[in-house]
């Protein structure tokens, strides 16, 4: 039986007590949803979806590295948006980060949905699923 391993790093925001930043079981590493919080300050990087998208992706990248892999190992990303009107701005920020961090050229599969957040300052949340070689 393969054991689960918690993945933690101080280079991403600390999770709430109810969940882990990331969990690895066998070849799979699931990264918990990340928002646009700067781990050094604990504050949102801005109110706009673009800056929050890039920061959420940086947080995911830090957790992946703590798990011993890179963004290129991500097979799926799920993006949760506060407002459908933010889709183009989120996509532009996403495009500024993801292709540069996937040198294989094979971009992750992606799902994007519009949701309501309990905290109104959150513009976007992104989680990731990666396969460890």
User: In the prediction, which pLDDT does 133 show?
Assistant: 81
Owning domain of residue 107 = 4-131
End-to-end CA distance of the chain: 18
Summarize pLDDT for 5-53 with one digit per residue, the tens: 999 999 999 888 788 999 999 999 999 999 999 999 999 998 899 999 9
**In total, how many domains does the chain have?**
1
**Whole-prediction pTM value?**
0.95
Query: Buried b / exposed e across 92-121, counting CB within 10 Å, b at 16+?
Result: ebbeebbeebbeeeeebeeebeeeeeeeee
User: In the prediction, which pLDDT does 1 show?
Assistant: 64
pLDDT bucket at 73, cuts 50 / 70 / 90: very high
User: In the prediction, which pLDDT does 26 show?
Assistant: 93
What CATH number has the domain bearing residue 62? 3.30.1330.40
Summarize pLDDT for 77-123 with one digit per residue, the tens: 999 999 999 999 999 999 999 999 999 999 999 999 999 999 999 99
């Amino acid at each position: 039986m393969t054991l689960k391993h918690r993945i933690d790093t101080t280079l991403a925001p600390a999770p709430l007590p109810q969940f882990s930043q990331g969990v690895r079981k066998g070849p799979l590493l699931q990264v918990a949803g990340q928002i646009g919080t700067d781990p050094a300050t604990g504050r949102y990087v801005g109110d706009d979806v673009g800056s929050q998208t890039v920061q959420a992706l940086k947080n995911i990248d830090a957790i992946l590295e703590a798990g011993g892999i890179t963004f290129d190992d991500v097979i799926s990303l799920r993006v949760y948006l506060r407002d459908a009107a933010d889709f183009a701005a989120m996509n532009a920020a996403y495009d500024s980060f993801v292709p540069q961090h996937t040198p294989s050229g094979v971009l992750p599969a992606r799902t994007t949905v519009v949701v309501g957040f309990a905290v109104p300052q959150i513009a976007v949340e992104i989680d990731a699923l990666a396969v460890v070689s």
